[in-house]
Amino acid sequence: MNTAMRTPKDRVRHTILFEILLLALCVPLLSFLLGKPLKDVGVMSVMLSVISAVWNYIYNYLFDHALLKLEKPLYPRSGKLRLTHALLFELTLLTISIPTVMIYLECSFIKALMVDIGFVAFVPVYAYVFNVMYDRVFPPPAAQIV
């Protein structure tokens, strides 16, 4: 069972790369789909990105510790575990993102919810692919022999 955790430096790299790539994909697309200026969507997206980046770091740390408490290996991660990880992250982030979207895009709760549903549908797929690729490019640490 591999119980070696990623370093804080690696977690920061993971979070920054995750958010930069997500912004590069989503800001132009959202601006087009919502008919809102790129600047407005960009400001809102960067704000949500910073919030989600901080939460991502905390969430991943807590998730890994929960796996260890449950005596589960940290790596390799099954597709089911990766999907669960991504969905739980997105659901917890909804409590912050819906009010932020409402304020920055000056829209109703329903429209903000629809935007978030789009994210909730897209981001777990993105997170799954990103994390699989991240593990290939930056392999997780080997288990320490005690």
Instruction: Report, as an integer, the average pLDDT of 134-146.
Output: 74
pLDDT at 144 over 50: no
Q: Let me know: does 100 contact 44? Beta carbons within 8 Å.
A: yes
Reference 71, options 2, 12, 140, 122; nearest CA is 2
pLDDT in tens, 41-78: 999 889 888 888 888 889 999 999 999 999 988 888 89
Rounded Cα–Cα distance for residues 25 and 41 (Å): 12
Stated pTM of the model: 0.67
pLDDT of residue 105: 86
pLDDT of residue 146: 40
pLDDT in tens, 90-99: 888 888 889 9
pLDDT of residue 1: 64
